[in-house]
């Protein structure tokens, strides 16, 4: 079975990518006005001027790749800040130094520096905004280091502090809601994601955000409902988002794709095909939407596979893979879905050598990645189908067990992906005289 792809309706103004650019770099862009520095007294201008000069030199060295020199200069700036006794300058310096040592691969030292800054800023109510920045940075370090649970706690702490902060505007919580939701989604905790996206949408609706920003929030919530098997809710949300796009005269094409996915899940294949074709017409010849075009091609191919039309699916899968390879390179784990789908398409046509080649390439990427079991489940299912064809039943059974277990821990019991994988597993056990 093929793996279908939801497409974001537009680029969000908030980060939710798995790989987050180290957030503290934002602080380094303007060292002449670091967070908190403007609160210094005028009489201390000379000391602050010296601190700013050193920080600026450190920043320049950092951006020019002179990391060892940047490290030394940031340490000098920290000494100057401590000498001044001004906690805002100390916090800034600790953060900047944390950035520098992180870039040099000294993760634990970077974490320690962030924690020092947090300990300092927690005691200063007037520096709470600075505290949010450091906690977000610490969460970024944890996330990039694969320490998901600690990243989650950092983001949850920010949200909890903001909820207690009467001066904090609801919209200020949005980036952190999305960051936390991204972590939960990556680890298959979709009910938590549903709650966070619902909260974010309610805030953005009340704030009367730009129409296309609202479309993105609605689309995210629709996506999670889709993944949980709440297809009617997903359909309603997607139609609402599409109506907003149409009224604004900004049809992205992505929402047509997403409606196609929903209709496929509901077994309404004619409507699904119509939506996928609408998406392709909207996305063709748009350089800014090349990746979305690749996903829409893959989804239309998946529909053909559902209709037992692998010959129609194959050229679509091949083009989708070419688009993705051009975007991410030949050795990126982001190619997993495209390779898995194409391999399964080859298998269904009896092209076993080509299928094996696609799966072998995908397997190499999986072994070198840090993907969760949930993220690998569809690949396991498709590879198991190849093993069944090759009569490698023991290997197939192991993969089915892993795929089913991953989806059972995440999706609703009636979700079609889980139902399909359990059926495939049951077919294997029946063929090998076992029972599920």
Buried b (16+ CB within 10 A) or exposed e, 304-322: bbbeeebeebbebbebbbe
- Most confident range (mean pLDDT) of 248-262, 280-294, 350-364 is 350-364
pLDDT at 6: 56
| Site of tokens 């109510």 | 125
From the centroid of its chain, how far is CA 89?
Answer: 33
pLDDT at 33: 31
Q: Please, which pLDDT band fits residue 13 given cuts at 50, 70 and 90? A: very low
Backbone angles phi, psi at 189, to 5 degrees: -90, 75
Mean confidence (pLDDT) of the chain: 85
- Vertex 239 angle, CA 233 and 243, to 5°: 145
Tokens of 172: 């200020």
Q: How far apart are CA 91 and CA 121, in angstroms?
A: 7
Q: How many CB atoms lie within 10 A of CB 166?
A: 5
DSSP helix/strand/coil, 2: coil
pLDDT at 46: 72
pLDDT tens sequence across 146-205: 898 999 999 999 999 999 988 889 999 999 999 999 999 988 889 999 999 999 999 999
231 close to 266: Cβ distance less than 8 angstroms: yes
All domains in the chain, ordered by first residue: 31-146 (1.25.40.10), 308-371 (1.25.40), 372-436 (1.20.58)
- Vertex 139 angle, CA 71 and 30, to 5°: 45
Q: How far apart are CA 251 and CA 247, in angstroms?
A: 9
DSSP 361: H
Q: Please, which pLDDT band fits residue 23 given cuts at 50, 70 and 90? A: very low
DSSP 64-112: TT-HHHHHHHHHHHHHHHHHHT-HHHHHHHHHHHHHHHHHTT-HHHHHH
Q: Please, which pLDDT band fits residue 99 given cuts at 50, 70 and 90? A: confident
Backbone angles phi, psi at 433, to 5 degrees: 65, 30
Q: How far apart are CA 245 and CA 31, in angstroms?
A: 40
Q: How far apart are CA 386 and CA 380, in angstroms?
A: 10
pLDDT at 273: 95
User: Which CA distances in Å does 416 have to 107, 168, 347?
Assistant: 42, 42, 22
Q: Please, which pLDDT band fits residue 26 given cuts at 50, 70 and 90? A: very low
Tokens of 363: 């397997």
On the CB side of 122, how many CA atoms lie within 13 Å of its CA?
Answer: 10
């Amino acid at each position: 079975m093929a793996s279908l792809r939801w497409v974001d309706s537009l680029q969000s103004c908030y980060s939710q990518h798995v790989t987050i650019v180290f957030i503290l770099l934002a602080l380094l862009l303007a060292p002449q006005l670091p967070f908190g520095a403007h609160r210094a007294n005028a009489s201390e201008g000379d000391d602050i001027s010296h601190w700013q000069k050193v920080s600026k030199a450190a920043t320049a060295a950092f951006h020019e790749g002179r990391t060892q020199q940047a490290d030394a200069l940031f340490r000098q700036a920290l000494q100057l800040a401590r000498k001044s006794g001004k906690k805002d300058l100390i916090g800034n310096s600790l953060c900047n130094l944390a950035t520098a040592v992180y870039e040099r691969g000294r993760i634990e030292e970077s974490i320690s520096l962030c924690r020092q800054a947090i300990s300092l800023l927690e005691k200063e109510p007037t520096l709470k905004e600075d505290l949010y920045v450091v906690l977000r940075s610490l969460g970024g370090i944890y996330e990039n280091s694969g320490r998901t649970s600690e990243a989650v706690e950092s983001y949850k702490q920010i949200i909890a502090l903001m909820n207690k902060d009467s001066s904090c505007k609801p919209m200020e919580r949005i980036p952190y809601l999305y960051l936390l939701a991204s972590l939960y989604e990556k680890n298959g905790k979709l009910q938590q994601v549903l709650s966070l996206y619902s909260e974010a949408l309610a805030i953005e609706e009340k704030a009367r955000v730009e129409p296309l920003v609202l479309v993105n929030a609605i689309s995210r919530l629709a996506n999670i409902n889709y993944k949980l098997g709440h297809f009617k809710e997903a359909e309603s949300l997607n139609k609402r988002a599409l109506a907003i796009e149409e009224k604004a005269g900004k049809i992205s094409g992505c929402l047509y794709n997403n409606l196609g996915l929903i209709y496929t899940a509901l077994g309404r294949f004619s409507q699904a095909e119509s939506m996928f074709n609408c998406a392709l017409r909207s996305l063709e010849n748009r350089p800014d939407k090349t990746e979305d075009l690749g996903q829409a091609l893959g989804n239309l191919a998946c529909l053909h596979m559902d209709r037992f039309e692998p010959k129609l699916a194959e050229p679509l899968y091949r083009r989708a893979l070419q688009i993705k390879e051009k975007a991410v390179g030949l050795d990126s784990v982001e190619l997993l879905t495209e390779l898995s789908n194409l391999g399964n398409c080859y298998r269904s046509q009896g092209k076993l050598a080509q299928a094996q080649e696609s799966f072998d390439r995908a397997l190499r990427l999986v072994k070198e990645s840090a993907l969760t079991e949930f993220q690998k489940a569809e690949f396991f299912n498709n590879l198991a189908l190849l093993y069944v064809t090759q009569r490698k039943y023991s290997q197939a059974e192991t993969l089915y067990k892993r795929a089913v277990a991953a989806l059972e821990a995440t999706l609703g019991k009636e979700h079609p992906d889980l139902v399909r994988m359990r059926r495939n597993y049951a077919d294997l056990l029946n063929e090998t005289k076992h029972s599920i």
